[in-house]
Amino acid sequence: MEQNKKVKLIELGLIDYKEAWDFQEKLFNEIIELKIENRNTDQPNLTPNYLITCQHPHVYTLGKSGKEDHLLIDDQELEHKDAKFYKINRGGDITYHGPGQLVVYPIIDLDNFFTDIHLYMRCLEEAVIKTCADYNLNAGRIEGLTGVWLSEPYPRKICAMGVKSSRWVTMHGLALNVNTDLNYFGNIVPCGIDDKAVTSIQQEIGKEIDMKGVEKVLVSHLAEVFGMQIF
């Protein structure tokens, strides 16, 4: 079957987490329905791909394999911090999203690229590693842990990842700390790992970073790593 490398970039700006989640689900389900229809026709239609970029107001999300006690504050404290909490259908444990954090949700059909979810995760990581390098940060991986890390002089996570896939269609994605208020991570056990720190590009460089600039760089590296044609 012919592959569609074209990927539509959708920039949502600052958007409520649940609103973005519902939008993801809509696109995700539409692609899956088209794939099911294609199985029953002699003239299949190309499946579309989307790359959503956004930021969220303060929110904590818990993946399917996470533990609720990794959220260290109660409902009253959540309200005081103007934060929300959702249990969601991605992999992984608990994480934080907030202003100053670049969130990217690839809603893509991996049949258009490669059908290997582990390779998919490594490619997401590689695009972030290349982005960090453009800001003179030596980022990489830690064996056995998902995401992107700075290892010297001690391990600290700069980008969290959690995805869902069905029929090789993906949703959810990555969250790169750019100008993120890292104090909010103090209210959780980030990704269920209690002995690793969290950082941001701003924290490492010592100055506020242009969010649109980081977005442009990361999207460019995603296109390069996956062979996407962004439009």
Give the 3-state secondary structure of 18-56. Answer: HHHHHHHHHHHHHHHHHHHHHCCCCCCCCCCCEEEEEEC
**Tens-level pLDDT at each residue, the chain (231 residues):** 689 999 999 999 999 999 999 999 999 999 999 999 999 998 999 999 999 999 999 999 998 878 888 889 888 989 888 899 988 888 778 889 999 999 999 999 999 999 999 999 999 999 999 999 999 999 999 998 889 999 988 999 999 999 999 999 999 999 999 999 999 998 887 655 555 789 999 999 999 999 999 999 999 999 999 999 999
Residue 98: give its domain's CATH number.
3.30.930.10
Quote the tokens at residue 123.
């490619």
Tell me whether residue 25 is in a domain.
Answer: yes
Asked whether the CA dihedral 202, 207, 208, 213 is positive or negative, the reply is negative
- Show which residues are catalytic: 191
Tell me whether residue 131 is in a domain.
Answer: yes
Separation of CA 191 from chain center: 13
Tell me whether residue 71 is in a domain.
Answer: yes
Residue 224 phi/psi, 5-degree rounding, is -65, -50
Tell me whether residue 17 is in a domain.
Answer: yes
Tell me whether residue 100 is in a domain.
Answer: yes
Question: 189-201: string of b/e by CB count within 10 Å (b at 16+)?
Answer: bbbbbeebebbbb
3-state helix, strand, coil in the chain (%, to 5): 35, 30, 35
The 3-class secondary structure across 125-164, one letter per residue, is HHHHHHHHHHCCCCEEEECCEEEEEECCCCCEEEEEEEEE
By three-state DSSP, how is residue 8 classified?
strand
Number of structural domains, the chain?
Answer: 1
By three-state DSSP, how is residue 171 classified?
strand
Tell me whether residue 1 is in a domain.
Answer: no
User: Do 219 and 128 form a contact (C-beta atoms < 8 A)?
Assistant: no
What pLDDT shows up at residue 3? 96
Kindly state the DSSP code that residue 81 receives in the 8-state scheme: T
Tell me the residue range of the domain where 44 lies.
6-230
Which residue reads 């996470």 in tokens?
A: 66
User: CB within 8 A of 142, min separation 6: which ones?
Assistant: 149, 151, 155
List C-alpha distances in Å: 1 to 30, 35, 42: 19, 11, 11
Tell me whether residue 145 is in a domain.
Answer: yes
CA distance 118 to 109: 15
